[in-house]
Amino acid sequence: MEEVVIVGAGVAGLTLGYKLSKQGYRVTVLEKEAKVGGLARSFQYDDFIFDIGPHRFHTEDTKVLKFIDDILGQNVISIPRMSGVWMFGKFHDWPLRPRDIFKFPIKVMWHAALEMFTNTHREGETFESYILNRYGETLYNVFFEPYTEKFLHIKPKDLHRDWAISGIDRAVIDKKVSVNSSLDLLKTTLLPKPIKTEFLYPSYGGIDVFAELLAQGIRENNGQVILNTRPTVVRTQEGKIVELQCGKQKFEVDHLVWTAPINVLTDLLDMADPGLRYLAIACFNVEIEGPPRHDYQWCYFGGYDTLFNRSSIPMLFSPATAPEGMHGICIEVSCLEGDACWRNPDALSEVLKFQLRVGGMCEDTSCIRRIHIERIPNTYPIYDMGFQQRLKNVKAELGQVANLSLLGRTGTFWYNNMDHSIRMALDMAEDIVSGQSRQKSYDRKL
């Protein structure tokens, strides 16, 4: 059997490694972090468990559902979705519900409603024009523009509309809910009852229980999952990758699957910088005494009155993530590697404590026990203008390497969810086993 080397022990890489190892392939998964999971790993501090933001399983793909069931078995719980957005100094359900209309300032309500019928079409492929065409200037100005600038550190006019398409899908989740225009948003708001969405989550531990079980399965099938290691040299011969070197360790390669950032691979192959950038996140994992002050599993913060973009409460996914009488809040602050937040996130702690109180997340800062900070690089691909052509160019160049495949969110530069990464990996595993082309695109929208 072939020697398959997978770089990155996230959900995509581990799913592929698990499926191939069960088929008898010699699988080696290399991971630079100290534990598996990638962007779906968890952090534990005594009895507190935090994920990297709000991770959960949600899909209508029966193939993916069956795989999740095979891995988690009975160790899973089903939970109803509760998500919110902070606007105008108050929490609102997301998608919006009828009662939330009456929390909006009258001027905002009036202008937003009027623009549903008088909005002027703007030409262009930018995020700005896409949102203005669908929601109008009022909602753009009060929510979409400040949220996007704060989140991506880029002006909406310099961002491609694909970010809007992907971002709105990620926020809404349920395919039965449409918010592709302000009129859709109004229809959703006026629905007599909210559409119920159910999530799956491990019944113990954090979301990385799924990754740990996959890694265990790979090892049981005679594969390797090697942590705290990353490629330093990639050797090629006659258009193929023949060896991967990680420090003093060397790995022979029949087939290399890359789930790490594309620019790391191009650098190792002495190719030109593809000009593709990734966003980083600083997670402030806050231990708080007492119960949560709202029922939202996660909440978006759009205005400039907070430094953070999103909050999530692990115990609203699973009570097992916090000790009795306490709860945790994961506060996400986006940044770029090398900027002030990335270099010294501790400097923001006192400001965030104050904003947690102002934002209704805790009654008083005295209830905040501890804050743990985790810096997460390469969390989101940045869809700036021109990214599509640059991505097409680098994929064409990497496509010349006969035994190389790209996989996962960072490996394919695709803003996706865990279910998409699982499906990508399942499809790739089937193709490798059947001997079909390894250069096909797996990053289609599912």
Say what the pLDDT of residue 138 is. Answer: 87
What H or E segment, with its residue span, contains residue 421?
helix 418-434
Question: Which of 114-118, 154-158, 302-306 is the least confident region?
Answer: 114-118
Short-list 170, 85, 186, CA closest to 134:
186
Task: Report the distance separating Cα 195 and Cα 226, nearest Å.
Answer: 43
Does 435 score more than 70 pLDDT? yes
Task: Report the distance separating Cα 245 and Cα 87, nearest Å.
Answer: 50
**Residue for token digits 């191939």?**
20
Binned at pLDDT 50, 70 and 90, residue 314 comes out as very high
Say what the pLDDT of residue 14 is. Answer: 98
Cα radius of gyration (the chain)? 22
Does 367 score more than 80 pLDDT? yes
Q: How far apart are the first and last CA of the chain?
A: 31
Does 164 score more than 60 pLDDT? yes
Does 266 score more than 60 pLDDT? yes
Does 349 score more than 90 pLDDT? yes
How many helices and strands (H and E) does the chain possess? 15, 19
CA distances from 415 to 139, 262, 379, 382 (A): 24, 14, 9, 9
Say what the pLDDT of residue 441 is. Answer: 57
Does 291 score more than 70 pLDDT? yes
Task: Report the distance separating Cα 372 and Cα 236, nearest Å.
Answer: 42
Instruction: Transcribe 212-273 into DSSP letters.
Output: HHHHHHHHHTT-EEE-S----EEEEETTEEEEEEETTEEEE-SEEEE-S-HHHHHHHTTPPP
CA distances from 410 to 16, 58, 216, 395, 443 (A): 15, 20, 23, 13, 11
Does 58 score more than 80 pLDDT? yes
The DSSP bridge partners found for residue 285 are 330, 372
**Residue for token digits 């008898």?**
24
Enter the tokens of residue 130. 């896409």
Say what the pLDDT of residue 297 is. Answer: 96
Say what the pLDDT of residue 3 is. Answer: 93
Task: Report the distance separating Cα 322 and Cα 287, nearest Å.
Answer: 9
The answer to whether 331 and 286 have CB atoms below 8 angstroms apart is yes
**Residue for token digits 């909005």?**
119
Binned at pLDDT 50, 70 and 90, residue 445 comes out as very low
Q: Are strands 326-335 and 278-289 parallel, antiparallel or unpaired?
A: antiparallel
The answer to whether 393 and 249 have CB atoms below 8 angstroms apart is no
Binned at pLDDT 50, 70 and 90, residue 95 comes out as confident
Measured in whole angstroms, how far is the alpha carbon of residue 68 from the centre of its chain?
Answer: 18
Binned at pLDDT 50, 70 and 90, residue 173 comes out as very low
Mean of pLDDT over the chain: 89
Task: Report the distance separating Cα 390 and Cα 126, nearest Å.
Answer: 16
What percent of the chain has pLDDT above 90? 72
Say what the pLDDT of residue 17 is. Answer: 98
**Helix 127-139 / helix 145-152 crossing angle, nearest 10 deg:** 140
Average pLDDT in the 325-346 region? 96
Q: Which residues of 202-222 are buried (b: 16+ CB within 10 A; e: fewer)?
A: beebbbbbbbbbbbebbeebe
Say what the pLDDT of residue 152 is. Answer: 93
Average pLDDT in the 291-295 region? 92
Say what the pLDDT of residue 168 is. Answer: 65
Which domains are seen in the chain, by residue range? 3-41+208-273+385-434 (3.50.50.60), 83-189 (1.10.3110)
Enter the tokens of residue 267. 């650098």
pLDDT tens-digit series, residues 388-411:
999 999 999 999 999 999 999 999
The answer to whether 249 and 290 have CB atoms below 8 angstroms apart is no
Does 77 score more than 50 pLDDT? yes
Neighbours of 7 (CB within 10 A): 27
Any residues with CB less than 8 A from the CB of 42 and at least 6 apart, and which? 49, 50, 51, 52, 205, 206, 207, 208, 209
Phi, psi (degrees; rounded to nearest 5) at 430: -60, -40
Say what the pLDDT of residue 271 is. Answer: 96
Q: For residues 69, 72, 78 and 80, what is the CA-based torsion angle, rounded to 10 degrees?
A: -90
Task: Report the distance separating Cα 388 and Cα 350, nearest Å.
Answer: 40
Phi, psi (degrees; rounded to nearest 5) at 425: -70, -40
- Higher-confidence residue of 357 and 190: namely 357
Task: Report the distance separating Cα 47 and Cα 45, nearest Å.
Answer: 6
Phi, psi (degrees; rounded to nearest 5) at 21: -65, -35
The answer to whether 154 and 147 have CB atoms below 8 angstroms apart is no
Q: Is 307 exposed, middle or buried (0-12, 13-18, 19+ CB in 10 A)?
A: middle
